[in-house]
Structure 1
Amino acid sequence: MARFHVPTIDISAWVGPGSPEARAAVVAAVDHACRTVGFMQIVGHGIPDAVIEDLKAGLDEFFALPLETKKRYVRPAGENRGYSPPKSESLSYSLGVDPVTRMNDFFEAFNVGTSWAEYPGTTATAHDYAANTWPAESTTFEPAVSAYYAEARRVAHALTRVFADALRVPGDFFDALTDHSIDVLRMNNYALPPGAIELGAELTGMGEHTDFGLVTVLWADRVAGLQVLGQDGSWNDVSPAQGALLVNLGDVAARLTNDKWMSTLHRVKPPVIDGTIERRRSAAFFHDGNADAVIAPLPHFVSPGSPALYDPVTVREHITAKLAGSRAGRKNVSAVREAARVTASLG
């Protein structure tokens, strides 16, 4: 088995003008990464440094608020918006895997997303595309997050055009699956005040999980913690290169390709140094697909020798089952293939 490696790919030929040869090279590199590791680092994405610096300042201002203030912005789990306090989730349950202790992921998070009102003329409803709540106590959070959200969304759309070429489907193939996509930006904070949590063997930064949708675009501090499962069953540390974004596939991509592309398991381990947790922030943009889109393996990935591994399912049904696991503590019994991989890695 080759050494685990997350490749760095310059996608500038697809972000701006690019020659056919340059674009073809990006497609080949992305396809190889999707088939072998399911993760890549991308540069040439075009997000200005100032946008990322403003995002970091906005995160710092919000997460520095008192816990009781932040809890005012907790929303019902089904809405997937607002604040999630520490130890209110257990992402391994989204795969049907029992965590060591219930709801033991210690990160705190804040979610925003695209609301139904932004998709006029589609089937989007407030049930699947809730409106956002913005913290009144922060003056920088909303504008900074909104600016980064728009940039991350642009990058995700560029990646789906690359995916279409790599999967040998028409260039507008993903338009029908994502023209009212469930897009969510989840901002995570892994540094908590002293005494807020009890350090111990059961503590998990973020449990083993796959992402739910089509593709995830991640900005993160260059701090240890993220680990990715290799094909040999080993967990491998991954940290973004300077100026790079981490990109990984989600379950929708794996289902479309009948597992030829990998929705790779990953987790975040708490970077505990001398009994305290080192600061780590991240912002994950999830481009999940339309709630009512039916996802099934593409015909050219199915054959008598490679039968369909997944039954058709809507994006809504799939995400609902996984969110019920991570936030409501109801084990997701449909994620049989993913759960087996987690169990093997922990054996």
Structure 2
Amino acid sequence: MVDFEVPVIDISAYVDGAGAAARVQVARQIDEAARQVGFMQIRGHGIPGQVLDGFAGALDDFFALDQPTKETYRTSVEFNRGYSPPKSESLSLSLGVTSATRMNDYFEAFNIGTTTADYPELELPAAAGYAENVWPAELPEFRRRVLAYYAEAARVASTLTAIFADALDLPAGYFDRFTDHSLNVLRMNNYALPPGSVDLDGELKGMGEHTDYGIVTVLWADQVPGLQVLGADGRWHDVQPADDALLVNLGDLMARWTNERWLSTLHRVMPPIVDGTIERRRSAAFFHDGNFDAVIETLPSCVGAGSKYPPITVSEHVQAKLAGSRGLQPNTNAQREAARAMSARS
């Protein structure tokens, strides 16, 4: 069996402004992790502990609200803002895996993201991913604490794209023109249901197998079992965050850019069941997806014998994915990812 490990990488050389030699070493480690696994754990990210604690408290406060109250903030396929109740999504359909028609993803979530007001000098369409956020009126501190973390996660994502440029031997700031009004979404997830509210059958998933949609994902998560990553051996491997680390994985758009030199790795969340009940697990994924109108095509240095993907805009790609996971419209543009999902061994 092939050994599987998610490498832990300290990126403080880029955060603290260390010398060039230290940054070269970090970029080399990032390139290796992106080639071999598609997932990595990062330390030295610089997010203050009080910001993380405040954010975790805000997440807890929202999901502790009663179900009718949470439902008043329900999201939609078009705008991707607000609340998603349990079993309302099927992430596998974002890959076009048509056998996954049952809504078995039991997580609940709350989404915020980039809005038109963030870029008043640009005419950005709300329907393309820049919709206004909704905020629970019952929790007056929720907005402040969530936005404090959102700003830090955005900084980390921007730092990572700077490292990516170095790792891919591109000019400094290469990705800036693709991300200067990026579609960013922070999705706060809660994997817990009241006793007796769900049938714990064999098909139930915390979150179905999927690849992330954009450039890079920065994930804060509890040290609780559940997250599984598909390895090169075709098997699912358990992953938990190390102390003081954030999990980072690459999305489909980075795989397209690099012609699969770097991996957009399939992952899922399985329900950790203890004595017949689901143990609670929390996570928050910051998706850094790029400008809605940016055209993603294979980087010249990665074309090789030919590109595996045609050009596509960020908006076209993301909307097709969302139509699958929430609208139950199988994604016909994800044949390569769907084949990997279907061939994975338990």
Considering the TM-score relative to the shorter chain, is it more than 0.5? yes
Match of 1:29 in 2: 29
- Between the aligned partners of 2:198 and 2:98, the Cα distance in structure 1 is 21
Determine if contact 2:101/2:328 at 8 Å carries over to the other structure.
Answer: no
Deviation at 1:100, TM superposition (A): 4.7
- Between the aligned partners of 2:277 and 2:99, the Cα distance in structure 1 is 22
Match of 2:9 in 1: 9
Deviation at 1:124, TM superposition (A): 2.0
Q: Secondary structure at the match of 2:340?
A: helix
Percent of aligned pairs sharing the same letter: 61
- Between the aligned partners of 1:2 and 1:346, the Cα distance in structure 2 is 14
Deviations 1:168-215 (A, max 9, x none): 111111111000000000000001111222211121100000000000
Deviation at 1:99, TM superposition (A): 4.6
Q: Secondary structure at the match of 1:79?
A: coil
- Between the aligned partners of 2:277 and 2:101, the Cα distance in structure 1 is 21
- Between the aligned partners of 1:78 and 1:233, the Cα distance in structure 2 is 34
1:159 aligns with 2:187: no
Match of 1:232 in 2: 233
1:40 aligns with 2:40: yes
- Between the aligned partners of 1:253 and 1:65, the Cα distance in structure 2 is 37
Determine if contact 2:182/2:291 at 8 Å carries over to the other structure.
Answer: yes
Determine if contact 2:27/2:167 at 8 Å carries over to the other structure.
Answer: yes
Deviations 1:207-239 (A, max 9, x none): 000000000000000000000000110100000
Give the letter for the 1:121 counterpart: E
Deviations 1:145-189 (A, max 9, x none): 110000000000000000001111111111110000000000000
Which is worse superposed, 188-197 or 79-88? 188-197
- Between the aligned partners of 2:101 and 2:77, the Cα distance in structure 1 is 20
Determine if contact 2:92/2:100 at 8 Å carries over to the other structure.
Answer: no
Match of 2:77 in 1: 77
Determine if contact 2:90/2:100 at 8 Å carries over to the other structure.
Answer: no
Deviations 1:56-84 (A, max 9, x none): 11111110111111000013221010000
Give the letter for the 2:331 counterpart: N
Change (3 A) 1:212 1:100: closer
Deviations 1:92-133 (A, max 9, x none): 000011355511100000000010111133342222200100
Alignment of 1:1-347 (within 5 A): 2-128=2-128, 129-303=130-304, 306-346=305-345
Give the letter for the 2:178 counterpart: L
Q: Secondary structure at the match of 2:162?
A: helix
Determine if contact 1:90/1:99 at 8 Å carries over to the other structure.
Answer: no
- Between the aligned partners of 1:275 and 1:139, the Cα distance in structure 2 is 36
Structure 1 stretches lacking a partner, 5+ long: none
Determine if contact 1:211/1:249 at 8 Å carries over to the other structure.
Answer: yes
- Between the aligned partners of 1:82 and 1:179, the Cα distance in structure 2 is 24
Which is worse superposed, 26-35 or 138-147? 138-147
Give the letter for the 2:291 counterpart: N
Q: Secondary structure at the match of 2:78?
A: helix
- Between the aligned partners of 2:140 and 2:236, the Cα distance in structure 1 is 40
Determine if contact 1:103/1:329 at 8 Å carries over to the other structure.
Answer: no
Determine if contact 1:95/1:209 at 8 Å carries over to the other structure.
Answer: yes
Deviations 1:230-274 (A, max 9, x none): 011010000000110000000010000000000000000001111
Determine if contact 2:215/2:254 at 8 Å carries over to the other structure.
Answer: yes
Deviation at 1:309, TM superposition (A): 0.3
Root mean square deviation of aligned Cα? 1.1
Determine if contact 1:12/1:45 at 8 Å carries over to the other structure.
Answer: yes
Determine if contact 2:83/2:108 at 8 Å carries over to the other structure.
Answer: yes
Q: Secondary structure at the match of 2:124?
A: coil
Determine if contact 1:7/1:41 at 8 Å carries over to the other structure.
Answer: yes
Which is worse superposed, 11-20 or 98-107? 98-107
Give the letter for the 2:202 counterpart: A
Q: Secondary structure at the match of 1:192?
A: coil
Determine if contact 1:82/1:133 at 8 Å carries over to the other structure.
Answer: yes
Deviation at 1:329, TM superposition (A): 0.4
Q: Secondary structure at the match of 1:73?
A: coil
Give the letter for the 1:70 counterpart: K
- Between the aligned partners of 1:261 and 1:330, the Cα distance in structure 2 is 28
Question: How many residues are aligned here?
Answer: 345
Which is worse superposed, 192-201 or 105-114? 192-201
Determine if contact 1:105/1:207 at 8 Å carries over to the other structure.
Answer: yes
Determine if contact 2:104/2:205 at 8 Å carries over to the other structure.
Answer: yes
Deviations 1:38-62 (A, max 9, x none): 0000000000111111111111111
- Between the aligned partners of 1:196 and 1:308, the Cα distance in structure 2 is 47
